[in-house]
Amino acid sequence: MSETRVDAAPRPEANRYLTFRLDEEIFGVPILEVREIIELQEISPVPRTMPWVRGVVNLRGRVLPVIDPKIRFGLAPVEPSELTVIVVLKAQDASPFGVLVDEVLEVQRLDPEAISETPVTGEAGEFVTGVGKLRDALLFILDPNVLAVQ
């Protein structure tokens, strides 16, 4: 961002999250770190790599690794369905990667005060930076930097 902003007001994007479903839970990632959402396509598996790397896909001529967050969280792998999509993230310290999700939901606005930093236990815990309260569910906010292939 090269332009200099005089006002101290935070950009509105800063509090917005792309939400998606893994099994019955709702997760979110900061919208600023989402590059795009692409439809599910045939993933070429990469042998002998981390189990949660499902493989690589051709994203307009670039080779993009795709991870399965459910395997990462110790759950059963994402089963492809009509709703399954790949969310392409660009974390700060890593190259772009795709995340397989069961269903992509909507963009939610959440003020920092509405997010509790209560630690989450379990295998997903290390990826969750905070928990937000939606009308009828909890939103687990994921840190793309931790989720990234490293």
Residues at the contact surface with another protein, assessed by CB under 8 A: 42, 44-50, 53, 55-58, 60-63, 65, 94-95, 97, 148-150
What is the smallest separation between the CB atom of 142 and another protein, expressed in angstroms? Answer: 18
Map residue 102 onto helix, strand or coil: coil
Are 124 and 38 contacting, i.e. CB atoms less than 8 angstroms apart?
A: no
Measured from the CB of residue 117, what is the shortest distance to another protein in angstroms? 28
Neighbours of 102 (CB within 10 A): 20
What is residue 144's three-state secondary structure? helix
Q: How far is the CB of 65 from another protein (least distance, A)?
A: 5
Distance CA 96, CA 36 (A): 10
Classify burial at 131, counting beta carbons within 10 Å of its beta carbon; exposed 0-12, middle 13-18, buried 19 or more.
middle
Shorter beta-carbon distance to another protein: residue 94 or 131: 94
- DSSP code of residue 47: T
Shortest separation between residue 26's beta carbon and another protein, angstroms: 27
